[in-house]
Each structure stands twice: as C-alpha cells, then as structure tokens.
Amino acid sequence: MKDARTTEHELAAIVLAGGDGARLRSLTAMISGTAAPKQFCRIMGKATLLEQTLQRVASSIQPSRTVTVLTGTHKRFYRPLVDGMRRERLAIQPSNRGTAPGILYGLMKIAAIAPSSTVAVFPSDHYVSNDTQLMRHVKCAARAVKKNPHAIVLLGVVPNGPEPGYGWIEPGEPAGNHSIPIYSVRRFWEKPDSERANQLYGSRCLWNMFVVVGQVENWMEIFKRNMASTYSAFEAVALSLNTKFEKFSITKLYQSLNYSDFSHEILAKSLLNLAVIPVKGVEWCDLGEPQRVLATFSKLGIAPLWAGSETEKKVSNG
C-alpha cells in the first residue's frame, strides 16, 4: 500500500482538449447550434465531455497537478469551463499543431513545477462507462512505470467486436513481473480494413484508448530522440512557462511548428519502450462519428438529452 500511495501522490495528468473535432462537427452543430469541437459539447449528459474528463481524472489525481491543453481559437467554447483555473493548469496553444506538440507543451508545464512526476495523458472527448475502473488501471500503469522508469504504458480496451474504425494495439509477450497482466507492444494497427479487424479481434488485440502513462524525464528523452527540433524549440522557452511571458513565447514558437501526430512520431517509433495493460470492465467509445454516438446510446438503453425534434433523425440518416 505504501507504494500505491506514493505513486498516486506523484501522479500528474495532461488532458488533451485542443482538437478541432471535425469528424463530429455536423452533430455538435445540431446539438449546440455552434461549431464547437465535441469536447466542449454536452453529448453524453448534462456536462460537456471535457468536464466529464476533468471530473474523472480528479477522482485520482490532484487538480493542481493536471494540465489541460487547449487551442486559443476555441476560447469562446472553453472559457466558461476553465474560468478560475490557475495559469499553471492551462496550456493554451495559439493554433492546433497536432497531438505531439500539445503533449510536449503539457509535459513542459508539468516539468516546470514537478519534474519527477509520473504523467498520465488523457483524451477529453471519449465516452467511458466506469470512471473508477478506468482510473484503477491508470494507477496500475503508474505503479508499473515506477517499477520500470523507462517504460511507457498504454491502456488498451478489451474489444467487444471487430471495429475497423478504431486504432488497435497488438500485444506481444508478458512484460515483467507485475500484479496485473502487462504486455509488450508488438505493433499498432490504425483503422484496419474489415478483414484485418476480424483477424485482430480474433487474436485478442486491443482497442487503443490513447491513455498513456510515463515519467516526465523519460517522456522528455523520447521526444528529444524522435522530435529533436520541436523539443529544442520548447526547451528554449521553458523558463517563460507559467509566467506572464508564456503567451508571447508560445505564440512565436508555434509559428514555426509543423503539424505532428503523437502516435506516429512518438509511440510508433518507441516500441521497445512500450507496454500495454488490457482494460476490462469498461465500455469505451471514441465518439468519433455520429453513428458511434447513437450506437453508444442504444447500447446504454437511453435517449440523449438532445434527442427530439429532427436532430436524431438527421444523425441517423447521416
């Protein structure tokens, strides 16, 4: 128990909320009457997906140790949701340059105040049926990282079908001696065709939740190795973070950044460092397409709060 408490105390979080949500824009426009990205919409209840994510994370990680990554062009949507948060808790990008810069920005913010932290990265726009169970797996991942500081541990949902629209993780051999099953990562499969998805499902592969846990120092080394120029650019402005000069330095930095994807640029190039924990007892959906949203409600046996009028009919008709 001592190790578990220590790990929880050292655990920090990055919540990714800077995406544009283009694939679901037709639905979010019908729900909210605006072009709000899905993380700022009340799709799965009375709270927005971002609020639900922050509440989920706060059940196990102190809010003071959670950094939310946002994009300045979405300010009118997120401002009411983060009102009152301290500067240290917000990483506001001037523009969306992809998940890799967003995560590195969040890591730099955390490193400035807690450089020895273990950090869990969370998407802010997914449906999770059981917050307690998910966060239990996150804490298991944190303990595994504490045991092996060079590891990056992903969470992979045990699938309930051969979904071709998701990213998949192909597990390898058992990775070390742990209290729960943890496996090496053999490879990633991004949105396979139906035939391949059936093969992956039959081979006990996992859906990629994009929840990832690692130590700050290890994250930094991996970024430095795989995205050297981007890492150097952030390192050059590190002293300005969490100060009144942060906005100016980050705005200038982002003008020179190219779009880059975390999964492609970091995870896919770091297989030797990766491990995956199968997540059981949790229903999960990335809510990436309108039909998946409706399918999730159908499975739950409830009607969305925004149902009625012509909205649900329009979504069903694509």
The CATH number covering residue 122 comes to 3.90.550.10
Distance, in Å, from the CA atom of 254 to the CA atom of 234, rounded to the nearest integer, reads 10
Alpha-carbon distance values, 10 to 3, 13, 120, 239, 268 (Å): 11, 10, 11, 22, 27
Token pair for 2: 């001592």
Please tell me the total count of domains within the chain.
1
Residues 6+ apart with CB under 8 A from 162: 194, 197, 198, 200, 201, 202
| pLDDT score of 177 | 76
pLDDT digits (tens, 9 = 90+) for 253-305: 999 999 999 999 999 999 999 999 999 999 999 999 999 999 999 988 888 98
Question: How confident is the model over 155-163, as a mean pLDDT?
Answer: 96
Mean pLDDT of 29-40: 92
Do the Cβ atoms of 124 and 15 come closer than 8 Å?
A: yes
pLDDT higher than 80, residue 178 = no
Whether residue 82 contacts residue 70, with contact meaning beta carbons closer than 8 Å, is answered with yes
Name the token pair of 259: 């779009």
pLDDT of residue 103: 99
Q: What is the pLDDT of residues 50-85, one digit of tens each?
A: 999 999 999 999 999 999 999 999 999 999 999 999
- Decide which of 128 and 312 is more confident: 128
| C-alpha to C-alpha distance for 25 and 27, rounded to whole angstroms | 5
Q: Quote the radius of gyration of the chain (alpha carbons, Å).
A: 19
**Cβ atoms of 160 and 281 closer than 8 Å:** no
CB distance 283 to 235 below 8 Å:
no
pLDDT at residue 2, rounded to an integer? 37
Buried b (16+ CB within 10 A) or exposed e, 200-218: bbeeebbbbbbbbbbbbeb
CB-based contacts of 66, cutoff 8 Å, min separation 6: 12, 13, 14, 15, 54, 57, 58, 89
Round to whole Å and give the CA distance between 197 and 64. Answer: 40
pLDDT for the residue 58:
98
Residue % of the chain over a pLDDT of 70: 94
User: What CA–CA distance (Å, rounded) separates 155 from 191?
Assistant: 17
**pTM (2 decimals)?**
0.93
Using an 8 Å Cβ cutoff, are 98 and 105 in contact?
A: no
Q: Which domain holds residue 179?
A: 2-316
